[in-house]
């Protein structure tokens, strides 16, 4: 069941903090909810929105200037699978990185709302650095001979390091005709040329006979399409026809 106004989140959240011994008041100096625990000298500011968005995030950061314990609260709508505000794992990590807390409110037709505290204010990030992906990123960067793509573009085939290697294999086959994988590898300097041609990811290569590969017409077309990608490699390599 979806909420129609963010005010519908207030009562469940107020009850949540009151059950934990807090005194709760709304709209205190423009803060949606302020909860104060009289015994523990603890104060929590809560900002609410129906969905997680940039406005809520900026509001939370602004509230950090008033107090260190700030919680963002949003509805968890079970019917909005795939929506940006349902990527709660990523959103929780973002809040952790910023020192914010994050809670969700799930509203039902026939039972009381359920509140889930995904992270408390000040919780440290839990996702460590992804060293393997970082290494892949750097390897991909190093193995590209130049910058042949346009940042931010979509729907276009990217010139990756793999595509560059495939283009070099295709160039060798075009210039020399049917060739053995070891000869292609020697000409391109890419030791896994044979594996690349066997995989034939782009449909450019065909196994003519055992130990011989030839270039398909779509491979010839690709050489013309990506001619600028090969120019630098041809000039710098010791390739001989």
Residue 81 pLDDT greater than 60, yes or no: no
User: Which stretch of 65-69, 108-112, 125-129, 171-175 has the lowest confidence by average pLDDT?
Assistant: 125-129
Mean pLDDT, all residues of the chain: 89
Judgement on whether residues 56 and 13 belong to the same structural domain of the protein: yes
Q: Which of 102, 119, 136 is the last residue of a domain?
A: 119
Tell whether 136 is covered by a domain: no
Q: Which of 119, 138, 157 is the last residue of a domain?
A: 119
> What pLDDT shows up at residue 45?
97
Cα–Cα distance between 101 and 35 in angstroms, integer?
Answer: 14
> What is the extent of the structural domain holding 160?
147-236
Judgement on whether residues 37 and 103 belong to the same structural domain of the protein: yes
What are the tens digits of pLDDT across the range 91-139? 999 999 999 999 999 988 888 889 999 999 999 988 776 788 888 889 9
Tell whether 72 is covered by a domain: yes
pTM above 0.85, yes or no: no
Tell whether 131 is covered by a domain: no
Residue 44 pLDDT greater than 70, yes or no: yes
Residue 9: which residues within 8 A CB-CB, separation 6 or more?
A: 3, 48, 50, 73, 74, 75, 105
Tell me, what CATH number does 206's domain have? 1.10.10.10
Judgement on whether residues 58 and 105 belong to the same structural domain of the protein: yes
In the chain, what percentage of residues exceed pLDDT 90? 64
Judgement on whether residues 23 and 66 belong to the same structural domain of the protein: yes
């Amino acid at each position: 069941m979806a909420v129609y106004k963010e005010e519908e989140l207030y009562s469940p959240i107020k009850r949540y903090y009151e059950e934990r011994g807090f005194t709760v008041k709304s709209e205190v100096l423009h803060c949606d909810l302020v909860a104060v625990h009289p015994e523990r000298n603890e104060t929590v500011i809560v900002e609410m929105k129906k969905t997680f968005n940039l406005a809520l995030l900026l509001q939370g950061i602004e509230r950090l200037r008033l107090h260190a314990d700030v919680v963002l609260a949003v509805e968890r709508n079970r019917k909005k699978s795939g929506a940006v505000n349902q990527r709660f794992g990523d959103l929780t990590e973002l809040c952790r990185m910023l020192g914010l807390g994050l809670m969700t409110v799930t509203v039902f037709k026939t039972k009381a709302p359920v509140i889930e505290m995904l992270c408390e204010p000040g919780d440290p990030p839990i996702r460590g650095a992804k060293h393997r992906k970082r290494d892949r990123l750097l390897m991909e960067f190093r193995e590209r001979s130049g910058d042949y793509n346009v940042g931010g573009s979509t729907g276009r085939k990217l010139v990756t390091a793999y595509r560059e290697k495939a283009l070099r294999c295709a160039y060798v086959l075009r210039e020399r005709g049917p060739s053995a994988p070891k000869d292609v590898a020697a000409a391109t300097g890419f030791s896994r040329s044979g594996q690349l041609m066997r995989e034939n990811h782009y449909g450019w290569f065909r196994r003519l006979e055992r130990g011989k590969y030839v270039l398909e017409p779509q491979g010839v077309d690709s050489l013309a399409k990506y001619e600028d990608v090969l120019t630098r490699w041809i000039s710098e390599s010791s390739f001989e026809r």
